[in-house]
Structure formats: C-alpha cells, structure tokens
Amino acid sequence: MAEGEQGTYVKSGEEFVRDTDYVTTRITCDGADGFTPEAGRYRLVVARACPWANRAVIVRRLLGLEGAISMGMCGPTHDARSWTFDLDPGGRDPVLGYERLQEAYFALDPDYPKGITVPAIVDTTTGKLVTNDYPQMTLDLSTEWTDFHREGAPDLYPEALRDEIDAMAQTNFTEVNNGVYRCGFAGSQEAYDKAYRRLFTRLDELEEHLSTRRYLVGDTITEADVRLFTTLARFDAVYHGHFKCNRAKLIEFPALWAYTRDLFQTPGFGDTIDFPQIKEHYYVVHTEINPTRIVPQGPDVRGFLSPHGREQLGGRPFGDGTPPGPPPEAERVPPGHGAD
C-alpha cells in the first residue's frame, strides 16, 4: 500500500504487507508505453503529507522540472474514497477540474480495483491516470526527462553507481521506509516486535555508515538520499509516537540526525516539508491507531535548522551542478509550516 490507499491497514494477528501492484505505465523517450516527455502535458498530483509523494516533489525541484510538469496538491486528509483537492478554490484542481484524485483513476479504468494513491501523474489531455508507480516515477524524471532539466541539474542517478544506489534504496525501503509502517500497522505483538527490531537494526547500520561519509552512495546527493530523507524527516513528528517506533528519536542518532539536517537545509529538500500537514494526515486519517484524531502539538522542529557540521566529511551536494532556485510562489510551504 502506498500512502493514501483506502481500506483497513491493521489486520488482527497479521504482519503489515504493502500492496505494490501499481499502474506501471512509463513516460519514456522511446514512447514504448505510448507516452513521451512533453512540456505541459502531464500533471504530478501529490500531497505534502505523504513521504512517497514527497520524493517526487523533491526530485522535480532538484531537476528544475517545474516548468515542464505542473503540480496539483491534495489536502492532508482524505476519506474512504480518495484524496481530495480541498486546498484549491472551490475544492477542484484548477487544471484537471477534479474534486477527487479517484476521478483520474476511474477515467483510466471505471472499475479500478486498487487504492487511490499519490504521487500520481495524470495526462491533462485526457484526464486519465498515467502512472502511480512512485519508485520508477522519480527514476524516469532523472533519466527520461533530461531535455527538460534545468541548467545545472544534478545527476541523481549516475549510471556508474546505479547498482549501488538500487541496493541501498531497496534495503532502506524494506527496513526503514516500509519498516515504520510494519511497526505502526502490525496486527499482533509478535509482528510488531519483529518489525521494531528490523527497523532499529537498520537505523543502527545507517548511523554507522553515515558517521564517516556525507551521503549514502558516492560523494553527491543521489536518489538513495531522497528516498531515505522523506522517512527521516517524519520520524520524530509521527513515526516515533504514532507508529510506536520509540526505541530512540531521530535526534538521538548523532550521524543520522546531522545527515537529515544537512539535507533539510539543502535547497529542494526542507523547503518541501510541511510539518502541520504531515501530522494532520497521520493522526487524523489513521483512526484505527488514533481514534480520537487528536493531533499532538510537538515536537519542536526548529532543530532542523541548527548547524550540522557535515561539510567536514567532504562531498559535493550537487556534484558538478548547482542548487535549484526558490520554489514557485504558488508551491511554497506556508510560513510557520516548515522549521522556521
């Protein structure tokens, strides 16, 4: 299950298993699936609350694809039917004209049987979903949309390091990105205990790995860092308490916490994080875990802007490239919603 899939998460006595059966249509230069990169044709639909969608937002920012791929923003909460465009005037996406993301899914398949997930790329010429395959989506933004990258865009998926990036990302997915969900949606004490041990075993490994190197793979930011960051940025705010991942807070891991602050303070990362929306989503939508829907006031997130000292480890955040400029005015996180 990706973030936002409707239905029951917790099944008594069972271990949480994520449904990874997505619409795998790709937008590629060779048009093998019938879709090629075209400026203005596609709309990336996301929600700031969702870590999987957050990956696509960051990659789009880093590569400078704002002018080629427009972005629609769902609100942080949804009902059993779908993510909604309740942040937009009149509650409709201004480009697609939809009230609910499910309309794009049903335009593709009126009997679409799976959950309605973000991120999703929609063809604005037909209103139909193209893909919700979030792992492939960001890789394709890096490799298939190069004609539309900004000048100075970083190489987030360098060919020489792809096997290492893929291996790192896969391990982090199973043990950390999805590991927090296995803790939170465990249907038995045994399932939770197992998930908890696996999660913190991997976090301990990452703490050691990052104590002597600035980034996960190579000496620049890669896709692997983007994928880990979106989970770490949410760890203390939701996963530590809401998902019972409470052996330690992120701020108690010296290297991981400094690494997260380093990325947060890098243009394209922290400027995509909306803490109130993140907390509202998890604590309001997951009523099986939090039936009162009370959203906690803490934690104090101003520490994300404190000095991290990671420069001493070397590394070049954007390699031979440059940082992205400020986000478009309409896409900026509201004041007071970040770490300011």
Binding residues for glutathione: 83
Instruction: Give CA 211 to chain center in angstroms.
Output: 24
Give every CB contact of residue 121 below 8 A, 6+ residues apart in sequence.
Answer: 27, 42, 43, 44, 45, 69, 129, 130, 131, 132, 137
Give every CB contact of residue 329 below 8 A, 6+ residues apart in sequence.
Answer: none
Sign of the CA dihedral 262, 266, 269, 270?
A: positive
Catalytic residue among 50, 74, 183, 245: 50
Query: Any bridge partners for residue 34, and if so which?
Result: none
Cβ proximity of 279 and 285 under 8 Å: no
50 is catalytic: yes
Contacts 24+ apart (CB under 8 A), 328-331: 328/66, 331/66, 331/71, 331/73
Catalytic residue among 42, 157, 181, 192: 181
Q: Distance between CA 194 and CA 183 in Å, rounded?
A: 8
Which are the catalytic amino acids?
Answer: 50, 181
